[in-house]
Amino acid sequence: MRVSRLQAEENRQTVINVASRLFRERGFDGIGLKDLMKGAGLTQGAFYKQFASKNDLVAQASKRALDSALHRWSAAAAERPQDPLGAVTDFYLNMGHCAERADGCPVVALGSDVARQDADVKAAFEAGIKEYLALLSGWIGESEADGDEPEGKAMAMLSTMVGAMVLSRAVNDEQLSKQFLQAAADSVLAASPASNAAQGSRQ
Amino acid sequence: MRVSRLQAEENRQTVINVASRLFRERGFDGIGLKDLMKGAGLTQGAFYKQFASKNDLVAQASKRALDSALHRWSAAAAERPQDPLGAVTDFYLNMGHCAERADGCPVVALGSDVARQDADVKAAFEAGIKEYLALLSGWIGESEADGDEPEGKAMAMLSTMVGAMVLSRAVNDEQLSKQFLQAAADSVLAASPASNAAQGSRQ
DNA sequence: ATTATCTATAGATCTATAGATAATGC
DNA sequence: ATTATCTATAGATCTATAGATAATGC
């Protein structure tokens, strides 16, 4: 029954990856260790040789989810280097993202729950959120030390994007969902100093 | 042990009120029927004479939470009739709201969870959200039938406010929390057509 | 007679632990 | 000899139901 150290580490990574998806889909309290381990092809008994507690996995899976989401942002931006903000708003603020919770933004899928988690989990989200802000700041040409409101515009943009996704997922009316995403995209692009320059390439 | 019909209805309302607070504080899955009923001074056995299921209470408590939150918005706006938007952003985007989950905005406290609930719960949130939009629209002087983007600005504002609160609650760094709220307030007020007119009374 | 609430419990699930097993790593 | 995983289980909790009780409402 024992497997090699390499295989054990691979299994551990699989559990974290599976958890990062299943937590986003069902919530931290919405899935038990038995089903999480089953999703990784293991049984529940193996869990506590790999993690200290469920909370330990919650923290690690949160970090994994944020890393994965940031990677997707960077990839989306890289596909349209002359207009990274437009590329990311297109990528983020659409109905596909609204329907696909497991692979979507972890702040949207778990933000409300994170407020009720301990400092370890919040630390994972805080680190990821700071990276989101750094990306946005760079794309809108915001200096990071130009006054008492560092990254203020980036913070407002991220808030608008996260809020629009949360709202669009909280209603039944699909038309209303779309309108939230469209209104957020309009607002974010209008607030970017670079938006006029990039407008041509977006049209 | 039996109580009067009047008392029974009063008890039912108490359960809904208690649930609307405890769900916001601990999440729909974070509190059981035993503790919910205990919070209303009853025992678990009385629950199913009052509600069809836990989900039934989740839907009713969601509606109650949104009604209560809308009432607070109206009250805040009424205290500063010449600048309702400024009054509501002050009331909503502050650290007290960030710390007080049980009485705060239900979209912030439960938004991520609502995406995983059934249509009844989403209907309660949808109705409340539409009322938020109507209030905001009125305050910024937005016509409700002036093009293909009805209430677009109100939608972006609500998204920004909800997102900022979710983000500010998801991090450990209190300074960062404050900056999200400040950035959101700046962004929302700058986007209002009436913001210049009201600027004087806000300074 | 009806019924709102109570105590008690069924049956499922949850996190965490214990001990057995079998393959690895020395 | 060590250990990653397995099966099994402890003990707590969850939603929901059953039957008893005692006050209401007719």
List own/partner pairs for B36-43 with CB under 8 A and 24 or more apart. B40/B11, B40/B14, B40/B15, B41/B11, B41/B14, B42/B11, B42/B15
Interface test with A, best of B142, B167, B178, B181 (most A CBs within 10 A): B167
CB A27 within 8 A of CB A110: yes
Q: Check if residue B30 sits with its Cβ under 7 angstroms from strand D.
A: no
The answer to whether the Cβ–Cβ distance between B119 and A163 falls below 8 Å is no
In SS3 terms, chain B reads as CCCCHHHHHHHHHHHHHHHHHHHHHHCCCCCCHHHHHHHCCCCHHHHHHHCCCHHHHHHHHHHHHHHHHHHHHHHHHHCCCCCHHHHHHHHHCCHHHHHCCCCCCHHHHHHHHHCCCCHHHHHHHHHHHHHHHHHHHHHCCCCCCCCCCCCHHHHHHHHHHHHHHHHHHCCCCHHHHHHHHHHHHHHHHHHCCCHHHHHHHHC
CB B104 within 8 A of CB B24: yes
* A198: pLDDT strictly greater than 90: no
A66, A69, A186 from A103: Cα distances, Å? 10, 8, 24
The secondary element (H helix, E strand) that includes residue A103 is: none
pLDDT per residue over A45-92, tens digit each? 999 999 999 999 999 999 999 999 999 999 999 999 999 999 999 999
Would the pLDDT of A23 be above 70? yes
**Model confidence at A148, in pLDDT bands (50, 70, 90)?**
very low
Does the beta-carbon distance from A112 to B116 stay under 8 Å? no
**Which amino acid, one-letter code, is at B136?**
L
Strand C contacted by A4 CB (< 7 A): yes
- Does residue A133 surpass a pLDDT of 80? yes
Tell if the CB–CB gap between A119 and B172 is shorter than 8 Å: yes
Residue B136 contacts A where some CB pair is shorter than 8 Å:
no
Give the gap in angstroms from C-alpha A183 to the nearest C-alpha of chain B.
5
Please report the residues numbered 94 through 133 in chain A whose beta carbons come closer than 8 angstroms to any beta carbon of chain B. 101, 107-116, 119, 122-123, 125-126, 129-130
Scan residues 4-63 of A and list those with Cβ closer than 8 Å to B. Answer: 25-27, 29-30
**A166/A98 Cα distance (integer angstroms):** 9
The CA radius of gyration of chain A, in Å to the nearest whole number, is: 19
A34 CB-near residues (< 8 Å, 6+ apart): A43, A44
Partners of residue A169 in chain B, C-beta under 8 Å:
111, 114-115
Determine the Cα–Cα distance for residues B24 and B110; give it in Å rounded to an integer. Answer: 6
Q: What pLDDT tens digit does each residue of chain B (203 aa) get?
A: 799 999 999 999 999 999 999 999 999 999 999 999 999 999 999 999 999 999 999 999 999 999 999 999 999 999 999 999 999 999 999 999 999 999 999 999 999 999 999 999 999 999 999 999 999 999 988 765 555 456 899 999 999 999 999 999 999 999 999 999 999 999 999 988 765 555 545 54
Question: Could you report the per-residue pLDDT of A83-124, keeping only the tens digit for each?
Answer: 999 999 999 999 999 999 999 999 999 999 999 999 999 999
Of B130, B173, B182, the CB nearest to A126: B173
A122: chain B residues, CB-CB within 8 Å: 170-172
Is A184 within 8 Å of chain B by CB? yes
Q: Return the exposure string of B84-120: e unless at least 16 CB atoms fall within 10 Å of the residue's CB, then b.
A: bbbbbbebbbbeebbeebebbbbbbbbbbbbbbbeee
pLDDT at A201 > cutoff 60: no
On whether any CB of chain B is under 8 Å from the CB of A161, the answer is: yes
Provide the pLDDT for residue A203: 44
Residues A165-169 have a mean pLDDT of 98
pLDDT of residue A27: 98
Closest-lying nucleotide for B4 based on CA to C1': D24
Average pLDDT, chain A: 92
Please report, rounded to whole angstroms, the spatial distance between the CA atom of protein residue B59 and the C1' atom of nucleotide C15.
Answer: 29
Distance of A8 CA from C18 C1′ (whole Å): 21
